Amino acid sequence: MNEYRIVVDAGHGGSDPGAVSGNLKEKDFNLKAANYMYERFKEMGIPVAITRDDDTSLTRAERLRIMTNTFGNDSKVLVLSNHINAGGGEGAEVVYPLRTDATLPSMILDAIGDKGQIKRKYYQRVLPEDPSKDYYYIMRETPNTTALLIEYGFIDNPKDQQKLQNNLLDYVEGVVEAIANYIGVPYKKPGEITGEPTNTYTVKKGDSLYKIANQFNTTVLELKRLNNLTTDFLQVGQILKLPVYEEQPSINENEYIVQSGDTLYKIANQFNVSVNDLIEQNELPTTILTPGQVLKIPTLTPSTVIYTVKPGDTLYKIANNYGVTVDAIKTLNNLTSNTLSIGQDLYIPEGTTITETDYIVYKVEPGDTLYKIATKYKTTPEAIKEYNNLSSNLLTINQILQIPTEKSTSESNVYVVRKGDNLYKIANNYGVTVKEIMNLNNLDSTLLSIGDTLLIPKQITDF
């Protein structure tokens, strides 16, 4: 049974073009390679996700979040980052992290070479200021995955320009074959995956293969295979064969039928739950899904809070903000350490009273110790260390510390924003005004996001 999961990355994108030569932009080649690779792995039944499938900008944090949170952060997660080189050289290169051996990168480079591209090298690259760390952040900041950077050629070399424009997908197919062989999944060439068509579709104005594939829960590659298409071009009135899918059974509320192309990450995002929730709720032995499979969707109670980690957050600081313990948050989220990642979603235990944590800014003076400062401000040395991410009790003169102090907000109800909510609806439900909610929460806009936590003014009743 295949235990590997794949995250396909299209490097750069949106406002970041990557390497440029004339009217050629690296981001366009990367996207073409990544989308093809994603469709091929999906066709072969390999669990796969993609960082971007259109020309959009991704922040570093967003890209890393998809890479490490989709399937977890371990060596069985292959992160394949597609790129085009620059600098006038010729041929393909594969960069691999310091934590892995050369087996997979050498297989990939050989496969690209078998498709006709010159093989330059597979290698590791270190951070100049710290040779113990990888140079590229997709390796350095995905510490347990098998992350690879694949360079298919040089955008500023005339020979490679022609190859990239004409043969790029051949090179990508070579990578797909190498990966399948490495993880032990039977490789199937495009067109070898079965699916007998019995339905047809007439192309309408504005249609595209991508749009039709989404409408009928299939893939662009499957449509092209069934209809012997060599390009993505369609004509109005053209008849397309469609693949057959068995009729779906009726399902109960809070259940979902897996569609072609679904992943646990995609379903979790759709229902605002975590991948771990889906795995536990359905007792899944693997992350592989099959079309037609019925999944139970976990339900969140109104008192369940989802918190997204922000820069500077610590478990201690978050626990203080919500009036709970660090251990309670770790237990609920199956955390084995206090390390957090920016953008990480945390469940906050039910039935908690949210508290607003203020802090005092304090400058360390001669003779100060953590114990002395903690006693002065009626807290503990451990609390100060947690709040300031200190790893020891050592202090330096003029060091700036934030000393936590709690301010109760027990005079308010706590509400977590759900799908379909707006301030007017919430205010009506609680018998208060929109203005009262905005004032209490210091809101300067009526826009809400699912998972936001709002304080709702308690009504005062005269007897």
Contact between residue 438 and residue 432 where contact means Cβ atoms under 8 Å apart:
no
**Per-residue pLDDT at 218:** 75
**Per-residue pLDDT at 351:** 46
Is residue 157 pLDDT above 80, yes or no? yes
Is residue 14 pLDDT above 80, yes or no? yes
**3-state secondary structure at position 35:** helix
Task: Identify which has the larger pLDDT, 163 or 345.
Answer: 163
Identify the CATH assignment for 255-296 out of 2.40.50.100, 3.40.640.10, 3.40.50.300, 3.10.350.10: 3.10.350.10
The kind and range of the H/E element at 106 are helix 103-114
Query: H/E/C letters for each residue in 152-205?
Result: EEECCCHHHHHHHHHHHHHHHHHHHHHHHHHHCCCCCCCCCCCCCEEEEEECCC
Mean pLDDT is highest, among 228-237, 312-321, 348-357, for: 228-237
**Per-residue pLDDT at 206:** 81
Work out the percent of the chain whose per-residue pLDDT is above 90: 35
- Which stretches of 215-331 are assigned E, i.e. beta strand? 239-243, 255-257, 294-296, 305-308
**Whole-structure pTM value:** 0.49
Contact between residue 407 and residue 356 where contact means Cβ atoms under 8 Å apart:
yes
Is residue 225 pLDDT above 60, yes or no? yes
Structure-token match 């359905």, residue found: 282
Using 50, 70 and 90 to split pLDDT, how confident is the model at 463?
A: very low
Mean pLDDT over 201-214 rounds to: 82
Task: Considering the chain, tell me which residue range(s) the CATH 3.10.350.10 domain(s) occupy.
Answer: 197-243, 255-296, 413-463
Mean pLDDT is highest, among 47-61, 181-195, 235-249, 439-453, for: 47-61
**Per-residue pLDDT at 93:** 97
Is residue 110 pLDDT above 80, yes or no? yes
Identify the CATH assignment for 197-243 out of 3.40.50.150, 3.30.1130.10, 3.10.350.10, 3.30.450.20: 3.10.350.10
Is residue 183 pLDDT above 80, yes or no? yes
**Per-residue pLDDT at 298:** 79
- CATH architecture entry for 5-183: 3-Layer(aba) Sandwich (3.40)
**Per-residue pLDDT at 246:** 44
**Listed range (25-39, 163-177, 377-391) with the worst mean pLDDT:** 377-391
Going by CATH, does the domain composed of 413-463 fall within 3.10.350.10? Answer: yes
Task: Considering the chain, tell me which residue range(s) the CATH 3.40.630.40 domain(s) occupy.
Answer: 5-183
**3-state secondary structure at position 218:** coil
